[in-house]
Copies of this chain bind each other. A is one copy, B any other.
């Protein structure tokens, strides 16, 4: 079985709607995409170079100010075909979803560790903060039905991230309650 290289398809997908620089693409991973995929610029720039060499994308150099060069990438016809192929291919593998905290909790619980509550509270705060952040974003971006309809893909991804965080937080608080009651 061939390796996935999901990153290049995500870049392709982002470029399918508009011209973007490597820097812009990197920013996209800090917003909605970032909830479900991450990449650093050190991975993005080389990938763009490879994709350009393979004819999936092309770029034009633009000048900001007097010297600063930007490479504005666009998707090519060949790239569009690759993108649609990817979109239409069923994602066979389920995500692995590594979660260090959950396995840690598994062990800490088995061991009657006195730091259990502390570790849980710490994680609770982290997820609560992310949940609050996502809720703010949702209010900000999707204040009306029109905005939802116009950016339904974005809405879906944000809504899914929100649900996931809500459940995580309520799962954690359930565990915390049980510990406090039991001790």
Contact residues, A150-183 vs B (CB, 8 A): 152-154, 156-157, 159-160, 163-164, 167, 171, 175
Provide the A58-98 mask, 1 if CB < 8 A to any CB of B, else 0: 00000000000000000000000001101110111111111
Query: Main SS of the interface on chain A?
Result: helix
Complex Cα distance A130/B94, Å? 9
Partner of A113, one of B33, B36, B87, B90: B87
Count how many chain A residues have C-beta atoms less than 8 Å from C-beta atoms of the other chain: 61
Q: Is the CB of A90 within 8 A of B119?
A: yes
- In the bound complex, residues from chain B placing their C-beta under 8 Å from that of A17 are 110
Choose among A9, A90, A101 the residue with the greatest number of B CB atoms under 10 Å from its CB: A90
Top 6 nearest A-B pairs by Cβ distance? Answer: A13-B107, A109-B153, A90-B122, A106-B153, A36-B102, A91-B101
Residues of A within 8 A of B (CB): 4, 6, 9-10, 13, 16-17, 32-33, 35-38, 83-84, 86-88, 90-111, 113, 115, 118-119, 122-123, 126-127, 130, 152-154, 156-157, 159-160, 163-164, 167, 171, 175
